[in-house]
């Protein structure tokens, strides 16, 4: 029996007259790392944002932990506590120290005591290699450090699913590795992860499944070894030859 934590069924989404997601169906098993790739504008972010209801699909179903999250009466805040997003541009709270960035939601949303949140927060900062930056403000950190704070902040919610939307594409090249290393370690820790990235080598290494999107369609889904060695669709072949050349 499979243990699907997320089941996307025939999801559709449009912005005005623009159809951004067309009949998307996919599954994520608990503990899997699932990666969405595809050209810019293909709908990757929108799909990811639908998973934790930052966007609301117009059609189809999203079943999360056995529950239809598009059904009336679902509390969006509850879903967002369990499926936490890491954004391309970090989106840290600029007026808070690094430690407060990490402890804010656990305290305010989850009602943790400051003591408890601080302890957990410091442990998470140590895990991403930033124990010594707890009292620093985000503006004093490099992009790579800021993104590692953002990852620690997301993990401080102890989510069931971590959603990462191009977590390294706003970084200077020399900082990409330090962030990918942190994500790789998380991936190996067994947390369920849905990742959008253009880092193909990384995607091949960490993913259990690759989904290739183009023009709002999920064109092709395959395990990474298969996908990268033998992409079936012409569109995936074209995309890979462009991005890998």
Residues that bind ligand ADP (CB under 6 A): 15, 18, 20, 38, 40-46
Region of 9-17, 42-50, 68-76, 147-155 interacting with Mg ion (CB under 5 A): 42-50
Regarding 101 and contact with Mg ion (CB under 5 A), the answer is no
Q: Which is nearer to ligand ADP, 42 or 145 (CB)?
A: 42
Name the phi and psi angles at 22, rounded to 5. Answer: -125, 105
Regarding 45 and contact with Mg ion (CB under 5 A), the answer is yes
We find the least distance from the C-beta atom of residue 21 to Mg ion, in angstroms, to be 13
DSSP state of 54: S
Q: Which is nearer to ligand ADP, 32 or 42 (CB)?
A: 42
We find the least distance from the C-beta atom of residue 56 to ligand ADP, in angstroms, to be 11
Q: How far apart are CA 123 and CA 153, in angstroms?
A: 11
Q: Which is nearer to ligand ADP, 120 or 220 (CB)?
A: 220
Q: Which is nearer to ligand ADP, 134 or 209 (CB)?
A: 209
We find the least distance from the C-beta atom of residue 154 to ligand ADP, in angstroms, to be 19
Q: How far apart are CA 30 and CA 220, in angstroms?
A: 21
Contact 71, 9 (CB under 8 A): no
Which one of ligand ADP, Mg ion, none interacts with residue 15, CB within 5 to 8 A by kind? ligand ADP
Q: H-helix or E-strand containing 1? A: none
Contact 27, 65 (CB under 8 A): no
Contacts of 170 (CB under 8 A, 6+ apart): 88, 89, 90, 143, 147
Q: Which is nearer to Mg ion, 20 or 187 (CB)?
A: 20
Q: How far apart are CA 57 and CA 23, in angstroms?
A: 11
Region of 28-36, 40-48, 210-218, 237-245 interacting with Mg ion (CB under 5 A): 40-48
Q: H-helix or E-strand containing 240? A: helix 234-244
DSSP SS3 for 162 = strand
Which one of ligand ADP, Mg ion, none interacts with residue 17, CB within 5 to 8 A by kind? none
Q: Which is nearer to ligand ADP, 41 or 129 (CB)?
A: 41
Q: How far apart are CA 89 and CA 210, in angstroms?
A: 23
* Position of minimal CB gap to Mg ion: 45
Write out the residues near Mg ion by the rule CB under 5 A. Answer: 45
């Amino acid at each position: 029996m499979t243990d699907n934590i997320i089941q996307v069924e025939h999801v559709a989404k449009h912005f005005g007259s623009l159809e951004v997601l067309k009949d998307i169906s996919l599954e994520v098993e608990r503990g899997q790392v699932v990666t969405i790739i595809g050209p810019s504008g293909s709908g990757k972010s929108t799909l990811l944002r639908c998973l934790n209801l930052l966007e609301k699909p117009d059609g189809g179903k999203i079943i999360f932990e056995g529950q239809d999250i598009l059904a009336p009466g679902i509390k969006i805040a509850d879903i967002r506590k369990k499926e936490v997003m890491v954004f391309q541009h970090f989106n840290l709270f600029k007026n808070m120290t690094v430690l407060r960035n990490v402890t804010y939601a656990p305290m305010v949303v989850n009602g943790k005591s400051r003591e408890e949140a601080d302890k957990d927060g410091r442990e998470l900062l140590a895990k991403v290699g930033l124990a010594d930056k707890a009292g620093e403000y985000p503006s004093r950190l490099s992009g790579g450090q800021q993104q590692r704070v953002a990852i620690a902040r997301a993990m401080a919610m102890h989510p069931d699913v971590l959603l990462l939307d191009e977590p390294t594409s706003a970084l200077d090249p020399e900082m990409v590795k330090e962030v990918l290393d942190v994500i790789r370690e998380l991936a190996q820790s067994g947390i369920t992860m849905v990742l959008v990235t253009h880092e193909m080598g990384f995607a091949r290494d960490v993913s259990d499944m690759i989904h290739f999107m183009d023009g709002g369609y999920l064109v092709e889904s395959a395990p990474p070894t298969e996908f990268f060695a033998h992409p079936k669709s012409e569109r995936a072949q074209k995309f890979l030859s462009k991005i890998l050349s």
